[in-house]
Chain A
Amino acid sequence: MAEREHRSSTVVLLTHGSKSNQAKPKEDKRSDLISVSPSSALLTSPAMAPSVRATVLLLLLLAASSSSQAAQAAEDGIRVLSAEKRIDLTGPIVKVFLTLKVQNTATGADASHVLIAFTPAEADHLAIVKATRAEGKRKKKTYIPLPVSPADPATAAPNGARLYSISLPTPLKPTDTTTVEVFYVLTHSLEPFPAEITQSESQLVYYRDSAVLLSPYHVQEQGTYVKTPSSRVESFTRVDPTSRSGPDVKYGAYGNQLPYAYSPIILHYENNHAFAVVEELVRKVEISHWGNVQVTEHYKLKHGGAKHKGVFSRLEYQARQSISGASSFKNLLARLPPRVHSVYYRDEIGNISSSHLRSDSYKSELEIEPRYPLFGGWHCTFTIGYGMPLQDFLFESADGRRFANLTFGCPLLNTVVDNLTIKVVLPEGSKSPQAVVPFETEQHLETSYSYLDVVGRTTVVIKKKNVVGEHNVPFQVYYEFSPIFMLAEPLMLVTAVLLFFAACIVYLHTDLSIAKSQASS
């Protein structure tokens, strides 16, 4: 302990508590997804609430550390030989790249999982966690994605830390090493400070994290590299050895950390990137077998950074653009599939004419400008709609069902969506719909009514919270449809017209007069 003298805070040891019967790694192979909800983690320390901020957590950890110093080795026998954490703070969303070189130090058992830990605050704001492993040598390196799922709540972590487990494709033999690369995204983790700024001020935010990696294993060697967008870093916590050069801050090599070691740091830096937050997005995808997929998206957009206070001077905004409204944004870019047609951009009071559409053969880019530039705390709502050709999106699967291959997520780049709802409206007569999404979502079925509907159209409603750009992956909606139902609509129209004509014929040929006319008599 003597070599770890820090200026700000001591290294805190988190303990496992008194549980010694940890579940063996082999028994953890349960393939069902456990939904992550804030209240699901078993808490060893009863005073902790899952949604507390990291600083409060650490104060309590300081108290807890004084009670017990017994550090238990991780139960799977895995040891992290070297860890490198790269934190990208250049945008409104925090992206972290973690490279772990792990070794299985257990003598008898194979390790099939690697656990990673997050603080409760991080786990609440975690949008996506991905893991890959490099296979092959230098030039033939391929990255195989590894499944990541929340760990079994029975594997307790001290003070409410949440564990995620990465399943290795081949179990790690004893004394074998492997390198796992983890990528995760945190949303709403940058706190603007000062919370309110005027038009001519720059936006400064706080970022809270730990200098040493929070891990359930011993970490022999590690370093954390933080990248900020500009070289204006107001302050950062020093945990020796720390160095800073321009926009980069390096929390230098630390050696031999015990499991669940945590050293809180706060970075206060300037971030004028557009903090575009879509509070609610409802996407309706209507599939029509007559050749068109129509997408309608309703957005509620907000500027999620430091709130704007005081005067908004259009003069300053237009004349002195470099210093005025540095953190405001006035346009957004949406990436749409190629071959879109009939794109419209409007809001409740009418069409918004400030938009540009540029398309080429593999994507279309729609650049939209809301009616007014968005400053901190300002809202706006709008609707984007477009149509796409059906042959790009509807396919037949091997078992005879049809499936629509659509893109999940929000087409706006660099935004975070708080509440995403996707409604896939299937044509009338579709049966047994099923949505296959690569990550955790809430789904249910509804019926919507549209033109010429008799029984209604089955709608698959998919909801997800905290959606970022990394969620824009394809997902499939399977359904069964017998082609004879396509005739339903034309037959309805034909029958209606036929009945009308028949009625006309009958009317013209009937004689409804009461008295016989003289010609007939």
Chain B
Amino acid sequence: MLVLAPAACILSGIALSSAFDVLTRSMKFQLSKLFDDGPAISGNGSPNGSSASTVNTSSSKNEKTEKSEAAPKEKQSKKNRRKDKEVTESVSVKPKKEKRLSVLPLEASIVSTLLLIALGGFYVVHCVWAAAEAYSAPSIVLTSRSREGLHVFDDFREAYAWLSHNTDVDDKVASWWDYGYQTTAMANRTVIVDNNTWNNTHIATVGTAMSSPEKAAWEIFDSLDVKYVLVVFGGLVGYPSDDINKFLWMVRIGGGEFPHIKEPDYLRDGQYRVDAQATPTMLNCLMYKLCYYRFVETDGKGFDRVRGYEIGKKHFKLTHFEEVFTTHHWMVRIYKLKPQKNRIRGKLKKLKSSSKTSSTLAAGRKKNPWQ
């Protein structure tokens, strides 16, 4: 529908222009009739019959309203009668070739002109307001009006600024692809997938990691050399475009590439749910855990404002990730991959037990760290 906007603008411009044309011409005509004599009138062109009658009524009105100008009115009326004769003559002579000029009464045209100018003024005000309110949503700074005024949710920039200043330059951040360009531009960190979405397998890898349990997700992220994982969570403040709502795409895209991710595992009655009726696969996947980690402690019940119900799994601990930053309104949560502690202990045990050198371990062959 916005395509029609330029056409509407042009048409309204034409309409306003012709309206002003008629009104100013009326005013000019009426005013010249008030002050001048006959010859000046003819220059305007000959009015048609219907307008002549309105001219008559306007002159009579003029007589009523402008009592001080008695003499010119008499003149006017004489002029009008003369004009009537002219008009009827001219109309009868050239009925079709005459240009039909509409002339309105003087007060009506003055009032209409002023109203149109006021309309133009209000239109400017309205446009400025509409542009500020409806067309200026940057979608990275969210605002809401409360009784105390404007409440600003600047969580995205807070998280990106934190990443930019408090992580090492070479650290990689894994998130869903929606935030890729923003992370690259504002946080100045390398991301795994970004808005370019040219590599579906890569996106599917991240999606699979988000849909897998913690251990498998840790392995996938570790193989990609990721240090930080970023999730967007709107449940505390009611921000609807968060990662839990986008989760179905992570499952579908991941499932498209990796067959062990099956969408029905996450569905209960054909719906994605995160409350007590959610499937165990859903309640154990990384996205759920990272979004709702310690969320129950905010209000005691874990009520998700976006989904509108209490979450299913409330008390749990993270084993492979640790929380390094959460923004002010909990909208962006950043987690760090925990290093492999168990592997070192295993290494020491092996060194102690056997006298052989740790050549196999020192070769750096990647073993599964959690076995």
**B-contacting residues of A (Cβ < 8 Å)?**
310-315, 319, 347-350, 352-354, 371-372, 377-381
Contact = CB atoms under 8 A, between A and B. Distances in A.
Contacts of B205: none
Contacts of A319: 297-298
A350 B325 contact: no
Contacts of B164: 348-349
B202 interface: no
B166 A379 contact: yes
17 contacts: A310-B322, A312-B323, A312-B324, A313-B294, A313-B326, A314-B327, A315-B294, A315-B297, A315-B298, A319-B298, A349-B161, A350-B157, A353-B141, A354-B152, A372-B161, A377-B166, A378-B162
Given A312-B324, A349-B157, A378 B165 contact: yes
A372 B187 CA distance: 14
B160 interface: yes
Interface of B: 141, 152, 154, 157-158, 160-162, 164-166, 186, 294, 297-298, 322-328, 330
A348 B188 CA distance: 11
A353 B157 CA distance: 11
A304 to B, nearest CB: 15
B154 A372 contact: no
Given A348-B164, A377-B166, 18 more contacts: A312-B325, A313-B323, A314-B326, A314-B327, A314-B330, A315-B326, A349-B161, A349-B164, A349-B186, A353-B154, A371-B161, A372-B325, A378-B162, A378-B165, A378-B166, A379-B166, A380-B161, A380-B165
A353 B152 contact: yes
A352 B141 CA distance: 11
Given A319-B297, A349-B186, A371-B154, A311 B162 contact: no
A372 B160 contact: no
Contacts of B324: 311-312
A311 B330 CA distance: 15
Contact of B328 (A313, A314, A377): A314
A374 to B, nearest CB: 10
A319 B236 CA distance: 14
A312 B165 contact: no
A382 to B, nearest CB: 9
Contacts of A313: 294, 323, 326
A47 B92 CA distance: 125
Given A353-B152, A378-B165, A379-B166, A371 B157 contact: yes
Nearest to B150: A353
B293 to A, nearest CB: 9
A311 B317 CA distance: 13
Contacts of B328: 314, 372
A270 to B, nearest CB: 25
B219 to A, nearest CB: 22
Closest 6 CB pairs of A and B: A314-B326, A371-B158, A379-B165, A349-B186, A371-B161, A353-B152
A110 to B, nearest CB: 58
Contacts of B141: 350, 353
A311 B298 CA distance: 17
Contacts of B298: 315, 319
B322 A311 contact: yes
Contacts of A371: 154, 157-158, 161-162
B213 to A, nearest CB: 21
Contacts of B158: 371-372
Contacts of A347: 161
